[in-house]
């Protein structure tokens, strides 16, 4: 079981900022920006690389939810970044697909 599944099951606490039928979002425990929120599906998919066409609506839903959360957090006007890490070189550490919502400061590009 992943740490995110434990958050979904309320077995460990998290600072949850958004919930709907298909997704929840909570603050990253090790924030890399003033706003750093993780948006995850309730249904576990290990990563984008293991998603199938039948997951398309759910993955799209995460982006729409992230944009709504950005508005809620007051960073939609200044801008923000959505990131999905996949696999080892992508820096993925939790195998439950998630969208990082980062904002509240100027973000550098490209990532190191
Ligand atoms: P990734 O490296 O893309 O898989 O992102 C995993 C993210 O989960 C990292 O940014 C971690 O800081 C974050 N994280 C790990 N455990 C927790 C937790 N218990 N609550 C909130 N965020 C977490």
Q: What is the mean pLDDT of residues 45-59?
A: 98
**Predicted confidence (pLDDT) at residue 112 exceeds the cutoff of 90:** no
* 8-state DSSP, 42: S
Q: State in Å: Cα 43 to ligand 1 middle.
A: 17
Q: State in Å: Cα 74 to ligand 1 middle.
A: 22
Q: What is the mean pLDDT of residues 72-81?
A: 98
Q: What is the mean pLDDT of residues 92-111?
A: 97
Three-class secondary structure of residue 66 per DSSP? helix
CATH code 3.30.365.10 for 3-103: no
94 lines ligand 1 (CB under 6 A): yes
């Amino acid at each position: 079981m992943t740490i995110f599944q434990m958050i979904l099951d309320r077995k460990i606490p998290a600072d949850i900022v958004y919930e709907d039928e298909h997704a929840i979002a909570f603050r990253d425990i090790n924030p890399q920006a003033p706003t750093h929120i993780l948006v995850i599906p309730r249904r576990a998919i290990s990563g984008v690389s293991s998603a199938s066409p039948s997951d398309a609506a759910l993955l799209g839903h995460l982006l729409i939810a992230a944009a709504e959360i950005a508005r809620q957090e007051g960073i939609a006007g200044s801008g923000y970044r959505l990131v999905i890490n996949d696999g080892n070189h992508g820096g993925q550490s939790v195998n439950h697909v998630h969208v990082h919502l980062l904002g509240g400061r100027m973000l550098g590009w490209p990532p190191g």
